[in-house]
Amino acid sequence: MCGKALKISLAAALILALFTVVAQAQDDPQISRCTAACVYNITNEKLLYMTGGDKVLAPASTVKLMTGVVALDFYIKADALEREITITAEMLKNVAGNNIGLRAGEVVTARQLLSALIVGGSNDAAYALAFDSYGSAEAFVDTMNARAAELGMNNTYYTNPTGMDSEAMRTTLSDTLKIALEAYRHNTFMELAGMKRYEFAATNKSEVRYINNRNYLIATNIVSDYYYKYASGMSSGMTEAGGWCIAATARSGGVTQLVIVMGGEQEKNKDGTFGKIYSYVNAIELFKWSFDNFKYIRVLENTTMICEIPVNLGRGVDHVTLLPEESLDLYLPADTDVKKEIILSWALDKPALTAPVKAGETAGLLTLYYKDEIVGRVSLVVKNNVELYRTLQFIDRMRGIIESEWFRTAAVAAAGLGAAYILIVAIIRGRRKNSQHVNHGQQVDRRRIYRK
């Protein structure tokens, strides 16, 4: 009994160890001290991880994603990026927080203001753009909310173009992901968001301004602890209600990832100084986790024999092999067991092919599943040419003629006509015989009479 119990214990331990290995290979990223976070693979349009996606949050700096998109859309459509804008006191009256010190009467261009907004997160630039493009901050914000509705951001409401805290302003991580993807599609936005520093040329009211990127993954002028060499841009900042927030992109190995962290905390040391900023700590963790744990895996070779399909009228061939039209690489967890976890399912366009058949001819569709999700589709094509056997073709055509409806109808009609003809001939012949018999009888009677 002791020996049996020992074996059971060892088996249980082995199973537990195996489970632990699998669990570790598929563990979620180690993030902490934030309200919500996600990583989205832009290249393959796949959400890799999300937590707190539907929690209602103060949007903080992520508002500037929408501000930048709305402003860019306006100036690009109007072909007015170089338009001169005169700053007014009304533009500046509600400015608070981070700004570049614009002055009433200062003449700048729309491009300069957009650069200050997207690179440096400048709140005065945001208000100036709002007034110049839509006439007022209120009208601009109305446009922001209308655009949010168009994007399906159903839990988002903006009250200003800067992200400064407001009781009515709200969003969610899921909604923020939508506007981040929209901003990513604007080449000008991403070009500016990836700059370490922007040189704002001298104006009539100011000397040259040097605006450093507020995203510490990119710029190192203030803090260098969070520099990430693969980072390529987006937006970062903080407010009291929203905490530290960041939307950032990074590219490595031909893949672009988008990371969003909201409600990040910052350590406060006993001496009153500040320590780690967890929006950046978690962002880097999410980037590393996604790049380390997901990769392109060859799940299908174009030489793999998938199935066979019958071939009619082929010379010496009654079936042909189907192959994938192309090899297929999918972006999957790095530990994916292709043989066990990728399921193949195929459907043929027709039950059989008819010669002649050409190699490469499409004959069906192959669908690939991973964990019950469709992850790829590829056409199935014929492997080899198949020549037509003309004797079989002739026989097949004759068979087709014989089995056709019109042939059956014609045959029935012909048979009917034949039967009718035979019947008519029989009747005519019968009448002739009867006539001959009557004539013969009359002749006999006459002879008898004559003899008498």
> 243 - beta bridge partners?
239
Query: Are 260 and 15 contacting, i.e. CB atoms less than 8 angstroms apart?
Result: no
* pLDDT tens string 139-148: 999 999 999 9
Confidence of residue 436 (pLDDT cuts 50, 70, 90): low
CATH domain 32-295 topology: Beta-lactamase (3.40.710)
For residue 347, give both structure tokens: 């459907």
Residues 60 and 262 sit within 8 Å (Cβ to Cβ): yes
DSSP E strand stretches across 123-282: 197-200, 209-212, 231-239, 243-252, 255-264, 266-268, 274-277
292-297 mean pLDDT:
95
Statement: residue 355 has pLDDT above 60 = yes
Q: Does the model's pTM come out above 0.75?
A: yes
Report the distance separating Cα 74 and Cα 68, nearest Å: 10
Mean confidence (pLDDT) of the chain: 89
pLDDT in tens, 108-121: 999 999 999 999 99
pLDDT at 425: 77
Q: Does the pLDDT at position 431 exceed 80?
A: no
Residue burial 413-442, b: 16+ Cβ < 10 Å; e: rest: eeeeeeeeeeeeeeeeeeeeeeeeeeeeee
Q: Are 107 and 84 in contact (CB under 8 A)?
A: yes
Per-residue pLDDT reduced to its tens digit, 379-409: 999 999 998 876 545 555 556 656 667 667 7
Confidence of residue 413 (pLDDT cuts 50, 70, 90): confident
Give the integer Cα–Cα distance in Å for 48 and 14: 30
Q: What is the pLDDT of residues 45-96, one digit of tens each?
A: 999 999 999 999 999 999 999 999 999 999 999 999 999 999 999 999 999 9
* Average pLDDT over every residue of 9-32: 52
Task: Classify the C-alpha dihedral 112-115-120-123 as positive or negative.
Answer: positive
Topology of the domain comprising 301-388: Peptidoglycan synthesis regulatory factor (PBP3), Domain 2 (2.60.410)
Structure confidence by residue, pLDDT tens digits, 122-159: 999 999 999 999 999 999 999 999 999 999 999 999 99
Query: With contact defined as beta carbons under 8 Å apart, do 42 and 249 qualify?
Result: yes
Of 62-66, 69-73, 333-337, 431-435, the one with minimum mean pLDDT is: 431-435
Q: Which two tokens stand for residue 132?
A: 């110049």
Residue 10 banded pLDDT, cuts 50, 70, 90 = very low
Q: What is the pLDDT of residues 213-232, one digit of tens each?
A: 999 999 999 899 999 999 99
